[in-house]
């Protein structure tokens, strides 16, 4: 299994495309799943997911799959189950301190993420703690169901572009800092602005004088 895990990380770009294609198929099947009942299809899909992902990624079926955000390296294979980066005990060569014969899953994850399209951004997103109540459930089914619900909401919305923008902004806020320091205004720009304001005030003050008619010369 370990050799297959390393193979999946080395070919993370291929598996990224495979996952995206699978997601589209699952979302397209949402009406079928809804008609049959998500509770009924949960078990067979979870069994299939366990077999496929167990072979390819040594999946632990946590129910909250983040493979697309961790370079196709499952963080649940970490002996400490760390979901947001390696611990401080990574040994020389990137090996695990608990299992010295195994490379750190986060070292592998970073290498896999650099091969993916947006992997370097996604791997920086902070993941929430594992919800143990979802263990054994199908993350494929849950994610596709959420995506299908989002698409239906966009169709019902008067302005779908606003919802897309809102979600993109929320995602950017996870990647970028919540605030950024403002750059200082260049001195040259401030000087030009001050000159323009002074000139404007001068013109306003001088215009009434120019509009007054000339006084006739006094008679002797």
- 110-146 per-position pLDDT tens digit: 999 999 998 989 999 999 999 999 999 999 999 999 9
Arithmetic mean of pLDDT, 181-193: 53
| Pair of tokens at residue 119 | 């992997």
Q: How far, in Å, are 34, 142, 143, 150, 158 from residue 154 at the CA level?
A: 19, 19, 17, 6, 8
| Pair of tokens at residue 156 | 């019902």
How many angstroms separate the CA atoms of 70 and 125, rounded?
10
């Amino acid at each position: 299994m370990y050799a297959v895990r390393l193979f999946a990380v080395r070919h993370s770009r291929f598996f990224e495309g495979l996952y995206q294609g699978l997601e589209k198929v699952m979302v397209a099947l949402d009406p079928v799943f809804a008609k049959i009942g998500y509770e009924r299809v949960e078990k067979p899909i979870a069994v299939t997911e366990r077999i496929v992902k167990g072979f390819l990624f040594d999946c632990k079926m946590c129910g909250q799959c983040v493979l697309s955000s961790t370079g196709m390296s499952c963080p649940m294979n970490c002996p400490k189950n760390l979901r947001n980066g390696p611990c401080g005990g990574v040994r020389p060569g990137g090996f695990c301190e608990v299992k010295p014969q195994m490379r750190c899953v986060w070292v592998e994850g970073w290498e896999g993420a650099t091969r993916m399209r947006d992997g370097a951004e996604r791997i920086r997103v902070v993941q929430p703690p594992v919800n143990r109540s979802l263990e054994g459930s199908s993350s494929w089914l849950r994610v596709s169901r959420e995506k299908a619900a989002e698409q239906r909401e966009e169709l019902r919305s008067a302005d779908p572009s606003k919802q897309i923008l809102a979600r993109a902004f929320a995602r950017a806020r996870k990647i970028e800092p919540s605030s950024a320091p403002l750059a200082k205004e260049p001195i040259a720009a401030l000087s030009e602005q001050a000159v323009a304001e002074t000139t404007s005030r001068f013109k306003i003050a001088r215009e009434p004088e120019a509009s007054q008619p000339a006084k006739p010369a006094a008679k002797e």
